[in-house]
Amino acid sequence: MMALPGAMLSSCKKYLDIVPDNVATLQSSFANANETEAYLFGCYNAMQNLADIRRNAGFTTSGEIIFPFPLQDQTILGGQGGDDGFQILRGTQNSANPILNYWDGYNMGVDLWQAIRRCNTLIDNIDLPKDLPLYNKVRWIAEAKFLKAYYHYWLLRMYGPIPIMDKSNPVNATTEQVRVKQQSVDSCFSYVVGLLDQAAKDLPPTIQNAALEQGRITSTIALAVKSEVLATQASPLFNGNPDYIAMKRKDGTSLFPATYDAGKWQKALDAAKTAIDAANTANATLYDLKLTGSITHLGDSIRQLLTLQGAVVDSWNQEQIWTLNPQFGWQYMASPRVTADAAANVFAVYSNFSVPIAESELFYTDNGVPINEDKNWDYAGRYTLQNGDQQHFYYIRYNYPTAKGNFHREPRYYADVSFDGANWYGSGNTDDRNMNYVNAVNGFASPPDQLRYNATGYWAKKLVPYQSTAGNSSVWQGYSWPFVRLPALWLLYAECLNEVNGPTAEAYSWIDKVRARAGLQGVVDSWNNYSRNPGKPATKEGLRSIIHQERRIELAFEGQAGWDLRRWKELQNVLTNPVQGWNVFNRTVNGYYQVVNVFQPIFGLRNYFYPIQDYDILTNPNLTQTLYW
């Protein structure tokens, strides 16, 4: 297949899908079954690139993690775009040279339209190899259809109305043919769902030969994605959104539905139930902790934290419905320094992935309700200091002064987030009776310079397996990036149940399955017993708020919250207030524990969708620029 020539990027004919496949190359690409399978794997290439969190708006613009600015070297994330995706929240997005520019893939290292064309080419030429068995032919077509659907879905979430590229343009395509038009968002969603349905019926439910086929698409994955696609279509961003009714094609065609359609939630509900049933048939279950390496001592408290964390960082486990092959490569950005070795080798740990205070406060109290609702929790005094005590021996360094807000929190808080005074199981020390710990005030975790530091004083511990060791001889325990976990399906189903039927025992039950693994009581009991608003779960609006927070907690730092907050139209509210952290460069306890504004996010109505590059608008007069850009 001929790649997009570099010269085309600056030519006046920069349209989607303008460069057809070279005929001679096609003949060799489909000469036999082996070459055709290699071509199929090329269709997967763009998908693997999406595992890079730098390229995922659901990760970089969620408000869960920020990246310091300015640094002495702002390129330390390297590669395509570096930290640009994180800096969008500082107001850097523009239409002249958009950041995370998936519309044409320029400077992204991944071109989804080219990937879609590759899928179309495989489907069009699958009959060429004479030695290709029918069962492989059917399966490979299904895989290509899934990939084509997902690439369209990724673009749809980012841009709203997009062109539907169901067929590649012929070699003799006219200029007008390659000047594609956007389709309405409902047409785009219908197209994606239709492809997923076609793919699911011809895909295997599970991968039987993991050594050879790990990472390939199954029908279980396709059904899980379908449920998410339909829930996205039913959500406020796409379902009767008054803010985007005015967006129309040049010929006057409306691109967003003018009215809300409750029936879309019913379709999402049915799809979510089908996906859960498929996951059950494929033997998907919650993760069981699998320990590796030398364990000195491990009690129940830390075992629970490792189980919660391991669901994400122990790859290909029974909870991960969909995992991408590429490994997470940014552990040194998420880690604090907890050993002398890590402090001595300034290149071992950078710690730049900084969790805002607001994100840390999203997690519940140990009573399973929000910290500002718990009638037994000192919300007003959460920024005062308290010494680590015996009750929190496994979570907080004994007798170490830290913020009072770090006490009496749910297990997911201690599994996912680290902070000054937090114990750190691992990094060479697997004795939970005397663990390493974070000393951010004047110890190893102190920022040595203006390059390798955490801007808020909170770390995304969830992203660093306990087996990883940072220091003079850093050994990072590799893991592949999960796209869909079983609890995400459960919470999506609960969300759909609530949107269709309001609060019901069935909706509570699916939320409670997730909460039980975190050691929390059920929703109704927790709110009845501990919340200042005990009736919250009994109303549709109240339960919606609970489900949204539950998803943000359970899926924290997994690249999902940014997409959820967008489809709910809640991201603008989340980013209204300044991003705050501790005064991390102060070397005294009282000086460190002063809340400071790191920066004020810039996120307005127009930021819910991404701009199309101005050049593309100029060269294709059929395109409509994203509204408000």
Q: What is the pLDDT of residue 451?
A: 82
User: pLDDT tens digits, residue range 182-209?
Assistant: 999 999 999 999 999 999 999 999 999 9
- In the predicted structure, residue 12 carries a pLDDT above the cut 80: no
- In the predicted structure, residue 555 carries a pLDDT above the cut 50: yes
Q: What's the mean pLDDT when you consider all of the chain? A: 93
Handedness of CA 60, 66, 71, 73 (dihedral sign): negative
User: pLDDT tens digits, residue range 259-297?
Assistant: 999 999 999 999 999 999 999 999 999 999 999 989 999
- In the predicted structure, residue 23 carries a pLDDT above the cut 70: no
Model confidence at 10, in pLDDT bands (50, 70, 90)? very low
Q: What is the pLDDT of residue 1?
A: 30
pTM of the full structure: 0.95
Q: What is the pLDDT of residue 177?
A: 81
Instruction: Give me 247's structure tokens.
Output: 């967006």
- In the predicted structure, residue 6 carries a pLDDT above the cut 60: no
What span, in angstroms and rounded, lies between the C-alpha atoms of 92 and 69?
12
User: pLDDT tens digits, residue range 115-135?
Assistant: 999 999 999 999 999 999 999
Q: What is the pLDDT of residue 182?
A: 98
Lowest mean pLDDT among 71-75, 207-211, 381-385, 618-622: 71-75
Q: Mean pLDDT across the stretch 153-179?
A: 91
CA count, 13 A, side-chain hemisphere, 257: 18
Residue with tokens 């509900």: 269
Percent of the chain with pLDDT over 70: 95
Q: What is the pLDDT of residue 458?
A: 98
- In the predicted structure, residue 2 carries a pLDDT above the cut 80: no
Q: What is the pLDDT of residue 472?
A: 82
Model confidence at 15, in pLDDT bands (50, 70, 90)? very low
Cβ pair 238, 156 in contact under 8 A: no
Q: Mean pLDDT across the stretch 237-257?
A: 97
Q: What value does the CA radius of gyration of the chain take, rounded to a whole number of Å?
A: 25
Q: What is the pLDDT of residue 528?
A: 98
Please classify residue 312 by burial: count the beta carbons closer than 10 Å to its beta carbon, then call 0-12 exposed, 13-18 middle and 19+ buried.
buried
Q: What is the pLDDT of residue 14?
A: 40
Give Cβ neighbours of residue 7 (< 8 Å, ≥ 6 apart).
none
Q: What is the pLDDT of residue 172?
A: 79
Q: Mean pLDDT across the stretch 242-269?
A: 97
User: pLDDT tens digits, residue range 598-615?
Assistant: 999 999 999 999 999 999
Q: Mean pLDDT across the stretch 578-600?
A: 97
User: pLDDT tens digits, residue range 426-482?
Assistant: 999 999 999 999 999 988 876 667 788 999 999 999 999 999 998 888 899 999 999
What span, in angstroms and rounded, lies between the C-alpha atoms of 505 and 300?
31
What span, in angstroms and rounded, lies between the C-alpha atoms of 629 and 627?
6
Q: What is the pLDDT of residue 170?
A: 80
How far, CA to CA in Å, does 313 sit from each of 308, 323, 467? 9, 11, 10
Cβ pair 336, 445 in contact under 8 A: yes
Q: Where do the domains of the chain lie, and which CATH numbers do they carry?
A: 6-262+611-619 (1.25.40.390)
